[in-house]
Structure 1
Amino acid sequence: MRYFFHIGYQGANYKGWQRHPYGIGVQQVLEESLGKILKAPVAIVGCGRTDAGVHASQFFFHLDVAEPWAFDMLFRLNKVLPPDIAVFDILPMEGLPHARFDATQRNYDYFIHTYKDPFLSHTSSLYLVNNLNLEAMKAATALLPRYSDYRSLCLAPAEHESTICHVTAARWLTDSRGDRLRFQIAANRYLSRMIRILVGQLLKVGSGTLSLGEFESYLSTENAPKHLSPAHPQGLYLSKVSYPYLDLPPRSAFSAPRESHTAPEWQPV
């Protein structure tokens, strides 16, 4: 029998989702915790990968078991997991749906604060920049759905069978004071470090060090950046994963980093 687990995690303490020989990944923690409960080795399949330090406010993995358990797995698993990993729902599935290959869209959010704030340091990326040209960033972002080959804006494109990604939506938002930014993107798939590289390039557009034409030349694969500098990992969240047969809303408490006790009101740029 196959189960889908709906989870969220704060990625600061992990080397990403996947197992690594050089550090602890979220997958390893979950497999070991499930193995203790089920008293047997466990292998799970996640809906994708996240880099070291990146968060997920919504993530799914699937697990196969011979027989359904006769206890409250949600309670037991949350009890043994560390505070930075939470299980929201456990869903019995008919047939053998695949947590990774069946996903049709993945949404990410990237959060930036432009002033030093110790309470945001693990949940948002600090960029001490002033007077970003948000209109130029908006114009550059509007180009993303028009192109599909992102080979120039990822690390190690040769490692991917295809560099084609279909971006369906992308935009910037800002808070009422203008000192926090939020980048949102939706696509069917992503390449290695693609979102963080995009954010880094869009910030260059906003600061005036990269022209709109140069940015578009990367998207059209006419040119490639001389240096790829991905934006900091702690601002990035996998925030929504959609399936043809499953479309759960993210848990609101994990959907955005908080400011004091009140989340900022985001407005489109």
Structure 2
Amino acid sequence: MRYFVHIGYNGLQYNGWQKQATVMNVQGVIEKSLSQIFKTTIAINGCGRTDAQVHASQFFFHMDLEESWDFDLIFRLNKLLPLNIAVYDVIPMEGLPHARFDAVQRSYDYFLHTYKDPFLNGLSSYYLLDGLNWDEMKAAVALLPLYKDYRAFCTHPDKYEHTLCYVRSASLMVDDKREKLRFQISSNRFLGKMIRIIMGQLLKIGKGILSVDEFESHLISKKTPELITPAHPQGLYLSKVTYPYLDLPPRTDFSAILQKASDTNWKKA
């Protein structure tokens, strides 16, 4: 029987989702816990591959189990897993759906703050900046759904069969004090470090180093900028994963400081 498991994790202490032999990773920690519970080797397949120190407020993986169980699996997993990984739902699925290949849309949030705040450390990216040109940054963000080829905003485009990404929405918001930024983007797929590269380019626009026309020229020409400066990973969250047969609401309380308590304060830049 195939099961989809709905989880969230704080990625600060991990070298990304994907299992690697020599470094701490989310997939390996979960597989170890599942194998301990069921006393047999359990392999899982995730819906994506988040980078080192990147978070996921909504993430799915699938696993195949031959036998049912007569205990509270969610309770046992949450008790066994470290505090930075949480299991929300275990969902039996018909057939053999795939957590990664069947996803039709993924959404990400990028949070940034421009003042030193110890309570945001590791949850949002800290940039000591003042006087960002929000209007220019907003104009650049508005261009994103108009283009489909994101070859220019990828670290290793040649490793992909193609670099087409159908960005369905993108927005930039700031809080009332104009000290916190929230960038949201949704697409059918994303390329390596694509969101962090875009965020890095937006910061250059905000600081007046890069113009909106120059930003758009890379989308038009598909040529990688001479200098790529990806934004810090700590502010990036995979926040929503959608399937044709499964569309669960995210756990919006994943960070009360950043999202839930601030939803009434966020305004379009």
> TM-score, length-normalised on structure 1?
0.97
Q: Given the alignment of the two structures, is residue 43 of structure 1 paired with residue 43 of structure 2, yes or no?
A: yes
Q: 2:140 corresponds to which residue? A: 140
Q: Which residue of 2 aligns with 1:71?
A: 71
Gaps of 5+ in 2: none
Q: 1:202 to 1:257 in 2, by over 3 A?
A: farther
Q: Deviations over 1:149-194 (max 9, x none)?
A: 1111110111111111010000101111110000000000000000
Query: Post-superposition shift, 1:134?
Result: 0.6
Question: 1:11 is matched with which residue?
Answer: 11
Contact kept? 1:167, 1:185, Cα under 8 Å:
yes
1:64-107: CA deviation from partner (whole Å, max 9, x where unpaired):
01122221111111110000000001101111111001100000
Distance change (3 Å), C-alpha of 1:111 and 1:118: same
Q: Look up the match of 1:24.
A: 24
Uncovered stretches (5+) of structure 1, i.e. residues with no partner: none
What secondary structure, in the 3-state scheme, does the structure 2 residue paired with 1:77 have? Answer: helix
Deviation of 1:241 (Å): 0.2
CA contact (8 A) 1:45 1:62 kept: yes
Tell me what 2:100 maps to: 100
What is the CA–CA distance in structure 2 between the aligned matches of 1:141 and 1:220, rounded to whole Å? Answer: 15
Check whether the contact 1:5–1:89 (CA below 8 A) recurs between aligned residues.
Answer: yes
- The aligned runs of 1:83-232 (5 Å cut-off) are 83-221=83-221, 223-232=223-232
Q: Which amino acid in structure 2 is aligned with residue 93 of structure 1? A: M
Q: Measured at CA, do residues 257 and 114 of structure 1 come closer, stay the same or move farther in structure 2, by a change above 3 Å?
A: farther
SS at match of 1:152: helix
Following superposition, the deviation at residue 262 of structure 1 comes to 4.2
SS of aligned partner of 1:158:
helix
TM-score by length of 2: 0.97
- The answer to whether the 8 Å contact 1:149/1:221 transfers is no
Q: For residue 236 of structure 1, what is the amino acid of its counterpart?
A: L
Percent sequence identity over aligned pairs: 59
* Shift, 1:263, TM fit: 3.6
CA deviations 1:201-238 (Å, max 9, x no partner) are: 01111111001111001111254211111100000000
The count of aligned residue pairs is: 267
**1:266 to 2:258 alignment:** no
